[in-house]
C-alpha cells in the first residue's frame, strides 16, 4: 500500500499543495481552518446556510438545537471568516461569506466515498477467499 489512496505518487508529488512552501503562520492558519470545520454541528449549520441567510432562531429551529449552542458555533464560524452576519431589528442574520468552503468538503466527501467503496471491495474479496 503506497499511502496515496490509489493515486500515483508522481501525481501526488506534482500537486500544487506539495509544491507550496507555507510559512509557519500559514500552516497555523490552515490548521485553524481545519479545526473550525472539524465540528459536525458547524458543518450542519453551513449546509443550512448554503440555502440562504438565516436568523439564529431559524438555525436553531432547523437543526433542533438550543440557542446558546447554535450561537456559539455561529460565533466561531464568524470569527473564522466563514460566515458574515448583520443585524435586522432584534435578530442577527447569518450567511455564507463564500461557498469555497464546500469545495474542501466535497473533496473530503469524494475521498471518503472512494475509501468506503475500496474498503467494501476489500472486505468482499476477503470473505470470498475465506480470510475474515
Res. 1: pLDDT tops 50:
no
More confident residue, 73 or 105: 73
**What tens digit of pLDDT does each residue of 75-112 get?**
999 999 999 999 999 999 999 998 888 888 888 889 89
Are 125 and 117 in contact by the 8 Å Cβ rule? The answer is no
**What tens digit of pLDDT does each residue of 51-67 get?**
999 999 999 999 999 99
Give the Cα separation of 26 and 13 in Å (integer): 20
Distances (CA, A) of 5 to 15, 35, 56: 15, 23, 40
As a CATH number, domain 39-97 is 1.10.10.10
Hey, what's the cell of 48?
Answer: 443550512
Annotated domain spans of the chain: 1-37, 39-97, 100-132
Hey, what's the cell of 21?
Answer: 512552501
**What tens digit of pLDDT does each residue of 18-38 get?**
566 788 898 898 899 989 999
More confident residue, 123 or 106: 106
Res. 118: pLDDT tops 60:
yes
Q: Mean of the per-residue pLDDT values for the chain?
A: 84
pTM: 0.72
For the chain, the distance separating the N- and C-terminal CA atoms, rounded to the nearest angstrom, is 19
Dihedral sign, CA of 8, 111, 84, 53?
Answer: positive
Q: Which residues have a Cβ under 8 Å from the Cβ of 52 and sit 6 or more positions away? A: 95
Amino acid at each position: 500500500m503506497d499511502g496515496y489512496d490509489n493515486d500515483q505518487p508522481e501525481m501526488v508529488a506534482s500537486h500544487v499543495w506539495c509544491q507550496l512552501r507555507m510559512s509557519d503562520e500559514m500552516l497555523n492558519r490552515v490548521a485553524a481552518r481545519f479545526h473550525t470545520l472539524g465540528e459536525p454541528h458547524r458543518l450542519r449549520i453551513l449546509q443550512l446556510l448554503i440555502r440562504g441567510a438565516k436568523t439564529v432562531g431559524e438555525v436553531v429551529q432547523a437543526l433542533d438545537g438550543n440557542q446558546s449552542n447554535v450561537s456559539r458555533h455561529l460565533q466561531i464560524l464568524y470569527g473564522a471568516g466563514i460566515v458574515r452576519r448583520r443585524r435586522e431589528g432584534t435578530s442577527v442574520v447569518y450567511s455564507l461569506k463564500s461557498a469555497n468552503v464546500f469545495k474542501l468538503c466535497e473533496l473530503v466527501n469524494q475521498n471518503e466515498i472512494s475509501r468506503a467503496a475500496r474498503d467494501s471491495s476489500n472486505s468482499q474479496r476477503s470473505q470470498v477467499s475465506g480470510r475474515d
